[in-house]
């Protein structure tokens, strides 16, 4: 019998979505950071939908501060909206918790959710709480709506061979430190889609090795990575920068002839945050193959 641990997350998803009715005319195909719903051409904005879950022992450890877990649960979703050029709106929060969970833990979790909604402008629209058996991991699932102006929408699938690849911040080591406290790059993506709209964009949640492959594949390209220029977090190796995951930095593609102008303007606008050219897209079937990155079901948990 084939089990989930035999095939991994991406293969599972591609097997499952064949079985269900999909939007016959989606504004973005499955596999981008969010689902995009077109409410009709009379509307200037598109509807974004996203769901994301945090599982104890997988995405956070039992001793993580609940307020930071709450922040992370919503910040991951905000990061996905930012990666499309959009903004969050209405949040639904599902808590599935064992009965022995302290009430104060759930309240601190909600304070972290409130911190994130207040900072990025979302509101709580609803949610639900459910018990899980006492031996089960706690789970927080966030579903949210967002919106993006039509001309700001930036997909993963619209870059072309020859476009440069750039990344914000530094990569690696997030699971030791910032995975619970990262700031979604919404200010930066807002500026990008208004001033230097990327040809493709996504946020880095599963590690550059996996996520770069996803952007390149979605755009029908291969890629070449300039390892010497990779912005590696101090104290981390290149392998950790490629594979740790949960960086929540922004990976973007842009025509080569706009890169110099972008980098100059970026330095003026965001002097404290690096933006680094890390390689380029090439024709499909050429380029390189990377190993590493986070894989659900087939990797050990709670490393």
Contacts to a second copy from residues 112-171, by CB under 8 A: 113-114, 117-118, 122-133, 135-137, 139, 141, 143, 145
According to the binding rule CB under 8 A, does residue 64 interact with a second copy? no
DSSP string, 177-224: TGGGTPPPTHHHHHHHHHHS--SEEEE-SS-HHHHHHHHHHHTTEEEE
Query: Which residues face 92 on adjacent strands?
Result: 126, 143
Would you state the structure tokens that stand for residue 283, as one six-digit string? 């024709």
Going by C-alpha positions, the residue among 160, 164, 185, 181 that lies closest to residue 84 is 185
DSSP string, 28-55: S-TTSSSEEE---TT-SEEEEEEEEEEE
**Are 27 and 38 within 8 A, CB to CB?**
yes
Q: Which is nearer to a second copy, 56 or 188 (CB)?
A: 56
CB crowding 198-219: b at 16 or more within 10 Å, else e: bbbbbbbbbbbbbbbbbbbebb
Q: Is 44 in the site for a second copy (CB under 8 A)?
A: no
* Piece of 28-36, 188-196, 213-221, 262-270 that binds a second copy (CB under 8 A): 28-36
d(CA 44, CA 35): 17
CB of residue 39 vs a second copy: minimum separation in angstroms?
8
Phi, psi of 234 (to 5 degrees): -55, 130
Residues numbered 70-109 forming contacts with a second copy, rule: CB under 8 A: 90, 92-94, 96-104, 106-107
Stretch that binds a second copy, among 24-32, 164-172, 196-204, 210-218 (CB under 8 A): 24-32
> If binding is defined by CB under 8 A, does position 68 make contact with a second copy?
no
Tell me whether residue 260 or residue 302 sits nearer to a second copy (CB atom): 302
Q: What is the DSSP string of 219-249?
A: TTEEEEE-GGG--BPTT--HHHHHHS-----
Segment contacting a second copy by CB under 8 A, of 17-25, 154-162, 193-201, 274-282: 17-25
Rounded CA gap, 112 and 160, in Å?
39
Q: Which lies closer to a second copy via its Cβ, residue 194 or residue 298? A: 298
Q: How far is the CB of 115 from a second copy (least distance, A)?
A: 10
Tell me: does residue 61 bind a second copy (CB under 8 A): no
Shortest Å distance, C-beta 253 to a second copy: 22
Q: How far is the CB of 60 from a second copy (least distance, A)?
A: 12
**Nearest distance, CB of residue 119 and a second copy, angstroms:** 10
What letter would DSSP give residue 58?
T
Which of residues 40 and 271 has its CB atom nearest to a second copy in the complex?
Answer: 40
Identify residues 239-298 at the interface with a second copy (CB under 8 A): 296-298
């Amino acid at each position: 019998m084939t089990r989930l641990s035999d095939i991994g997350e991406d293969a599972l998803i591609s097997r499952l979505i064949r079985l269900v009715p999909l939007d016959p005319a989606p504004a973005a195909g499955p596999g981008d950071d969010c689902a995009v719903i077109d409410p009709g051409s009379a509307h200037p904005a598109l509807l974004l939908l996203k769901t994301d879950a945090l599982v104890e022992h997988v995405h956070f450890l039992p001793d993580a501060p609940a307020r930071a877990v709450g922040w992370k649960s919503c910040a991951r979703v905000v990061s996905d909206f930012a990666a499309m050029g959009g903004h969050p709106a209405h949040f639904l929060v599902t808590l599935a918790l064992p009965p022995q969970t302290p009430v104060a833990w759930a309240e601190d979790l909600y304070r972290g959710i409130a911190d994130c909604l207040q900072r990025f402008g979302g509101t709580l629209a609803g949610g639900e709480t459910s018990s899980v058996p006492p031996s089960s991991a706690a789970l927080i699932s966030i579903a949210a709506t967002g919106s993006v102006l039509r001309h700001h929408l930036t997909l993963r699938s619209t870059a072309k061979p020859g476009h440069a690849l750039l990344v914000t911040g530094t990569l690696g080591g997030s699971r030791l430190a910032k995975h619970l406290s990262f700031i979604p790059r919404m200010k930066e993506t807002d500026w990008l889609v208004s001033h230097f709209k990327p040809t493709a964009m996504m946020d880095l949640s599963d590690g550059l090795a996996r996520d770069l492959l996803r952007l390149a594949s979605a755009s029908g390209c291969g890629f070449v990575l300039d390892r010497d220029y990779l912005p590696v977090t101090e104290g981390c190796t290149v392998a950790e920068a490629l594979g740790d995951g949960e960086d929540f930095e922004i990976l973007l593609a842009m025509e080569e002839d706009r890169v110099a102008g972008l980098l100059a303007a970026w330095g003026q606008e965001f002097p404290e945050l690096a933006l680094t050219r890390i390689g380029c897209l090439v024709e499909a079937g050429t380029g390189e193959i990377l190993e590493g990155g986070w894989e659900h079901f087939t990797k050990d948990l709670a490393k």
